[in-house]
Structures are given as C-alpha cells and as structure tokens.
Chains A and B, each alone.
Chain A
Amino acid sequence: MLALSGFATWTNVDGGSPKALLRLSTDSVVDASDRQHDAYLFRGGPVSPDYEWVVTFERFRADVEAARTSGKFIVLPNHFEYLAGGDVIRFVPGRKAVRVLFRASANANYFLTTERCNHYCLMCSQPPKDVDDGWLADEICEAIPLLPTATPFLGITGGEPTIIGEPFFRILSKARDHLPNTPVHILSNGRSFSDTAFARRYAQIGHGALSVGIPLYAADPEIHDYVVQSKGAFDETIAGIMNLKSLGQEVEIRVVVHKQTYKGLTELSEFIFRNLTFVDHVTFMGLEITGFTRANMDSLWIDPYDYRSELRNAVRYLAAARMNVSVYNHQLCVLDGSIHALAKQSISDWKNEYVAECEGCTKKDECGGFFASSKIARSAHISPFLS
C-alpha cells in the first residue's frame, strides 16, 4: 500500500510561507510558464535553473545540494519514490506536510471536496466531520488546471460533495474547461438532486462526460434509511436519481453488500429494474473494513462467500434484464462462477493487495484482490484457481 501523505525530511522553504500545489516534472527543461506550480522531480543529473521548486528523496539529498544552490527544495522520505512526472502534491511549509493529490499513473484519482455529510452510514469509510473545510474546494479548483489533459478519469468524493453548494459547480466547471475529455465521476448520495433547481444547475454545467454514483442499499425505505442513518434519505435519493435521469444525466447505482443489505438484494435488483430502468449502471460493491465499519463489525460483517447466491441472483437478474451491471471489490474465488465475467478489477491500485492463499492462482490477473484493510476480516473461502 502506498503512503499518500507524510512529512518532508528537510526543506529550505520558510515555515511561514503559504501552502503550495506542485506539479512534478521529470523534464530537465521547462518552459517556465508556471514557476509557482512546476517542480522538478530530482533523481540525479543536472537541474534546470528554470525550476523554482525541486522535489527529491532522502537518498538524492546530497546530489541535489551539489547540483544546485538556489531555489526551493523539498526532500521526501524514500518511500515516496513512487512519485513520477505529472503527479501533483500539496506542501504545507510550516508542518513540512506533504499530501499526494494526484498520481498520473493511478487507475483512479479522487478529489475529496468536503468531510461534511448529511448521512452517517454504518459502513462509512471516510467518517464525516462537521468542520469548515471550504478551502478544499478552492484547492481542487487550483489543482485541476495542473492535471495532464490526457487524464483518463477523475473522481469527486467526500463527505457529500454536493452539500458545499456553489463551489461544487465551480469544480465541475473547472473540469469542463481544463479537462474536457476526462470522464468525471461524482460519488454522491443524490439527495441534493431532489431539488429540481439544483439538478438543473448541474445539468447546465454541460460537461460531456459527467456521471454520479449514488448508493441505494435496499428496496425497503426503512432499511436504506437505517443504513445511512437518516430518515427520509430513501425518498430524496430516489427523487434525485429520477430528476437527474429526466435531465439526461448519467447515473450509476452503487450497492454496498453487507449483513444489513444482502438479504434484500433480490428485491432491490427487481426494484431497480422496474422503477429505475433508466439508470446507466448498477454496481455491487464489497465492504471495505475501514472507518465506521470497524466500529460496526458485528452488524456489518458477513463472509462474502455466505451471500454469494443472493449476489449471484441479483446480478444475473439485472444482466438478464439487459441492464449494465458490475461487481466491484470482490475476489473471484468467493463469487459464483456465472458472474465472474461481470466482476471488475476496481480497488484503487494503492489499496490493492493479495494474500498468501492467492499463491499460484491462475486468475490473479483478472481478480480485484483485496483492500489492504482486509487484514481485519476477509472471507474464509479464499482459495486459488489452479489450472
């Protein structure tokens, strides 16, 4: 698992300086168009004086001091050596804090817009905090123009990204203007879109490849409201989905499967087909053992092997109904063979790991693997496919 945040071991930048967003480059020459944001990623060799910023790692520290004497230096611990050209980091001089905001080689990059949320989901992997974090949206707006135009995908997440209001639309407009070819996927509970004016404002952004992933946990409103710990959530989420679709917007329904939801998968899949036929994608996700899930293990954890037939039935039903359906975050060996073709490798690569039992498995390349957090609990039925 990659460490995405940490502290510089050394810097010559004054502790009172403002935080900086830096786009790392390995080109020794730069056109110097953005001295404020461009940083040379030093791994030896000469350093162009065009760069104001130089970022390197502990083991190159002596080399970089020899190569150049002026400018701003940041020295990172060696475990950040995975950083590469095109990556974007945040640096806070006072605490020497470093956070990786974007990795050009990652299969998915997500921007956290806020930690606030109007849900309090039992299995939240990013427990909400009621803090004033409006600066996050400003930072995202600053970061987007630094991303490569060929960025294949961008995720917008939270908290609940839509509750920040106008800055949410500002972020999307930035993406539209700077990354017109990059699909942007928003993880939202959809409730804000139950307000027709809000939904319309969203549609008016006019981004060519926007989509919203909206969780729906049960066909039964009480179960859904319980899982997200908010009465009335079901109604607003459904209304949000309907509003978005009536405006021609792309919507994915995401179902996290756990002890509170697996029994209702058959009803839920039927409910989705009969009532929300028009959604673009339905995905079933495995449980990530992090955040609130760790506190609610007893009421959430079930060995995925034990819900394999419920999951299989729901997925096969939606597939037979010719809906676009996928399974995420599941190991192939716990899934019924008839839905293997619909299982996607989806765990963000920095979280993805395999375990000892996977040794010799012939399907490793097609398998989603594990969240690093699965050390706490994972299926007792992991076994390799041997040819």
Chain B
Amino acid sequence: MTKFSPLSEFQATGDGHYQLAPFRFSPLDNERYVITNQAGEYSVQPRSVVAALVRHELKPSDSAYSRLRSKHFLFDSSSTIGPVMLATKVRTKAKRLANFTALHIMVMSLRCEHSCPYCQVSRQSEDRSAFDMTKETAEKALGLIFQSPSPAIKIEFQGGEPLLNFDLIRFVVEKAESINEVEKRSLQFVITTNLAVVTNQIFEYCKEHDILISTSLDGPAKLHNANRPRPGKNSYELAIEGIHRARAALGHERVSALMTTTKASLGMGREIIDEYVRMHFPGIFLRPLSPYGFAVKTKWYASYDTESWVDFYFDGLEYIIELNRRGTPFIEFYASTILTKMLTPFEPDYVDLMSPAGIGISAVVYNYDGDVYASDEARMLAEMGDKSFRLGNVHRNTYAEIFTSDALLDPIEQSFAGSAPMCSECAFEPFCGSEPVFHKATQDDFVGLKTRSSFCYRNMAIFKRLIGLMEEDPSIRELFMGWTR
C-alpha cells in the first residue's frame, strides 16, 4: 500500500513566504508577549517568536507556526480561506454596534434617605421634591426611548432612591407597556434600589409587571452599615431582609446586588465574597469607587490608590477561584465581561469597556430634570458641574438632535481606542474601552494620557493577570470559559 502521500507533500515549503495578518503585541511580562489579531483572538508567545514572526524568520517546523496560522496571525499557501474567516470574526465582534442604545436609565429622583459618603450621584436630602422627575418629563423621555432602533429595550429606574417616586415608576411602566403593544420590542424593567423603603405592595407590583430588582450590598453588616449610613443605622438589615422578600415575591434570579469598594473594604475582600456566597448570589462584581459625586467631595475616592484596589481585586479573584475548586460555583462579573471578550467570538454589552465608547451607544440617561446624558457616569459628572456630556433635554431637543449632538460624537470619535495614542498599538485594546467620561473627570481630556490613567493601569493589570492565570493553569482557563456569556 503506497497509495498514500506523506505529510510533507501537503506542507508549505518554509522559505518565509507568509503574509502577516494585522496584529498588535504588548509585553505580558519580561519574557512573553500577548499578541492579538483584528478579531481579538490572543496568543502568548516568547518575545523571540514575535520578533521572528515579524521578520519572516518563523519556520513551518517551529512549534508556534501552525498555531499562529490557525489563529490567523499569518497566512500562507496552505490555505486561502483565512482572511475570509478573520473577516467573519470581525463582523461578529462588531455586531453589538448594530443594537444602538439598548439600556435607558431614568433618574426618578435625586432624593435618598441614605447618606453614603461615597455616593457618586450627589443625592439630595429626602424632602425636596424639586429633585423628582415629573410625569411630563417621563412621557417625553419615553417618546425618545421608543425612537431607538434597538429591538430590545431595558429601562432602568435609578436615583437617588427611585422608590421615593414610586408613583412615577408605575406611570412609566404602564405607559411603556401600552406603547409596546404596538412597538412589540423586547421590553424589560429594572429598579435600582437600596430596598430600605420597599413595601409588599411594591413587590406585588414588580411581580405583576415582571420588574427586576438591583440592590446594593457592600459586604458583612459592619462594613455595609459603615459605608451606607442612614437613620437607624440599619441599612444592612433592611437590604438583607429586602433581598429575601424580593426573592420570595419575584423569584431568586430576579434579584441582583452590587458592591462598591471603600477603603474599609480593602482588607475584607474574602468576607465580602463570603457574604455574597452566604446570600446565594451567583457571583459578585468587585467594583472600585469612581471619581464622581460625593466620593470626590468627601475624598473617599482618593482614600485608596489604584494599586491597592488591584491588590484587593486579585486577592478576591484568587479566593473566588479557590471557592470554585472547592465546589462552590461563583463568578466575578468584571472578569466575566473581559473573559467574554478574550475567549469568545462575541462582544458583551458593558458600557465601561467599549470602544468606540459605550456612551450613548449602549446606554443613555434621562435625568430627573429632563437632561439627557451619554452614560450614568456622564450625569454624575454633570452633578459636579461638568456638563460636557449633556446631549440635550427631552423638552427642547429631538431624537436626531440628541443622538447626533457634538457632545456625543466628539468624545466617541476622539477617544476611539483604535486610534488613540498608545491604545492603537496595545495588544489589550480589543478587551478594553475608551472611557472618555472617566478621563474627562480625572484628566480633563476625553482621551487622557494613558501612562497616567488609573483606568488604563487597573485594566492592564487585570488583563495581564487573567491571561497569566490561564497560561499557567489549564483548569483555570476551563473555569474562566464557563464564566463567559
């Protein structure tokens, strides 16, 4: 039987005749580089392999050659379909852009009965109804919301404490439902609440209208109550009781919680995570403080540096991996978003990590006074006096005016990470975002100098750590794959 040809007859000659695919590279550590192609696929390679690849010195017999070809970092005569596959992947990643504005945040009231010193929205004391949204404003906002071309519309009620203006929530929900009888979009509501003033009637209403609840839980009682003061010093007790009641009324998975990291949280990562495990949440979003609102005024934002937060994050991540190994499935949601970018052909919708910037594209905010902002952070910045990201007002501007305003398009264009200095050559750019609001707040510039950006520092550190962990241990890669969406 000599009818079969040997492998060598099917192999490229290996004289360096290959075409480089467009790719970026950045150091992972002293020896290794991360390289990413146009579709955000990555490979970790020694510095020497990347240099050889670029100089056409890589040979088909080198172990990296076949792998780099399969991942579309180089093309050679063995196959002509590579560029078509790469283009298909690029298109898949870009699909998100087609779903223009799916999340609409409506600020029902700036009032709040909590007085959290880290509040990033500059809440007002409870009794001043001047900070409530009116019916007229809500109606106008709804008109704009349904002009969005997105097939899925999510309306999130925020504050202050939105339940302090619950009558308006009912008005918006019912009005939106009636508009949707004609529009037939996929319509979803979320109330972001501290659950302190919630009643059984409100839960019944939420159940009837299929409304999701998102609440705050900073960790164990002592930490939570210290972070989130209110009359009675019982924020934690009310939140826990509220979560139980909400789950009983709406179903376990319809209630989610968010934490914010304060200086007091830094040494308590594991206890915070334990609290979420104890409360049977599927995971936690370890969030740093943002440079907005009271958090800046009270200097809480500046109370810890990015390095400390990153240490806190890494320790939490390590603990969560340990929990999974011991048989408790649990997810860190920020990692989950990044891993979805790294490990899947898809692009998650997460405003902070998008380029072009997610502002206005994936979320838009209708403030209590009718002003429209490009993101939740944008309105926080506005409450501090910087209205750079104000797109218009529901009473005075049309949909077209708002969504083609310079306040939206300028920062998106300027900060587009594909072309921003340093970002344009960064291997981690496909996993990152441009965050013009953050850079406007911290450096007074939409783009920002990335070497001095804590946003850049924090995310680079996380990208490198996630990739490093996966390189070092295949079982972590498998776990992380399960975290993707």
Contact = CB atoms under 8 A, between A and B. Distances in A.
* A and B directly contacting (CB within 8 A): yes
Contacts of B78: 221-222, 225, 234
Contacts of A68: none
Interface stretch (A41-49, A77-85, A104-112, A270-278): A270-278
Nearest to A260: B7
A325 to B, nearest CB: 13
A321 B92 CA distance: 16
A226 B10 contact: yes
B67 A296 contact: no
A313 B3 CA distance: 34
A320 B89 contact: no
A321 B39 CA distance: 17
Given A316-B478, A320-B478, A220 B69 contact: yes
How big is chain A's contact interface, by range? 20 to 34
Contacts, number: 78
B327 interface: no
Given A226-B7, A235-B81, 17 more contacts: A220-B66, A220-B69, A223-B7, A223-B10, A225-B10, A226-B5, A226-B9, A235-B79, A235-B80, A239-B81, A271-B70, A273-B345, A274-B41, A277-B345, A296-B1, A317-B481, A321-B343
A256 B227 CA distance: 58
Most buried by B among A220, A273, A295, A296: A220
Contacts of A271: 70-71
B88 A242 contact: yes
A120 B4 contact: yes
B375 to A, nearest CB: 30
B85 interface: yes
Interface in B7-37: 7, 9-12
Q: Which 7 A-B pairs have the closest CB atoms?
A: A320-B481, A219-B70, A221-B79, A235-B81, A226-B10, A295-B1, A225-B10
A222 B478 contact: no
20 contacts: A120-B4, A219-B70, A220-B70, A222-B10, A222-B12, A231-B9, A235-B80, A238-B81, A239-B81, A273-B344, A273-B345, A274-B39, A274-B89, A274-B345, A275-B88, A277-B345, A296-B1, A296-B4, A320-B482, A321-B343
Contacts of A221: 69, 78-79
A231 B80 contact: no
Interface string B64-96: 001101110000001111001100110010000
A122 interface: yes
A34 interface: no
A177 interface: no
Contacts of B12: 222
Interface string A263-287: 0000100010111010000000000
B385 interface: no
A379 interface: no
Contacts of A219: 70
Contacts of A211: none
B345 to A, nearest CB: 5
B193 interface: no
Contacts of B9: 226, 231
Given A242-B88, A274-B345, A234 B7 contact: no
A229 interface: yes
B344 A321 contact: yes
Interface in A96-134: 120, 122
A217 to B, nearest CB: 12
A220 B79 CA distance: 9
B474 interface: yes
B484 interface: yes
A113 B11 CA distance: 33
A168 B482 CA distance: 41
Given A229-B5, A267-B70, A317 B478 contact: yes
Interface residues of B, number: 34
Contacts of B4: 120, 122, 229, 296
Given A229-B5, A267-B67, A274-B89, A313 B474 contact: yes
Residue of A219, A242, A275 with most partner-chain B CB within 10 A: A275
A226 B10 CA distance: 6
B85 A238 contact: yes
Interface of B: 1, 3-7, 9-12, 39, 41, 66-67, 69-71, 78-81, 84-85, 88-89, 92, 343-345, 474, 478, 481-482, 484
A244 to B, nearest CB: 14
Contacts of A275: 85, 88-89, 345
Interface in A212-228: 219-223, 225-226
Nearest to B41: A274
A19 to B, nearest CB: 32
B70 A231 contact: no
A320 B344 CA distance: 11
A168 to B, nearest CB: 24
A196 to B, nearest CB: 13
Contacts of A226: 5-7, 9-10
B41 to A, nearest CB: 6
A242 B482 CA distance: 26
B79 to A, nearest CB: 4
A344 B390 CA distance: 58
Contacts of B10: 222-223, 225-226, 231
A271 B39 CA distance: 13
Contacts of B481: 317, 320-321
Nearest to B344: A321
Contacts of A313: 474, 478
A214 to B, nearest CB: 14
A260 to B, nearest CB: 8
A76 to B, nearest CB: 36
Nearest to A122: B4
B345 A222 contact: no
Contacts of B482: 320
A296 to B, nearest CB: 7
Interface string A230-254: 0100110011001000000000000
A185 to B, nearest CB: 25
Contacts of A274: 39, 41, 71, 89, 344-345
A222 B481 CA distance: 28
A219 B66 CA distance: 9
Contacts of A220: 66, 69-70
Contacts of B345: 273-275, 277
Interface in A37-67: none
Nearest to B346: A277
A238 B70 CA distance: 13
Contact of A120 (B3, B7, B81): B3
A321 B484 contact: yes
Contacts of B67: 267
Interface string A299-322: 000000000000001001100110
A122 B4 CA distance: 7
Nearest to B7: A226
Contacts of A235: 79-81
A59 B344 CA distance: 63
Contacts of A316: 478
Interface string A331-373: 0000000000000000000000000000000000000000000
Contacts of B3: 120
A274 B345 CA distance: 5
A277 B6 CA distance: 32
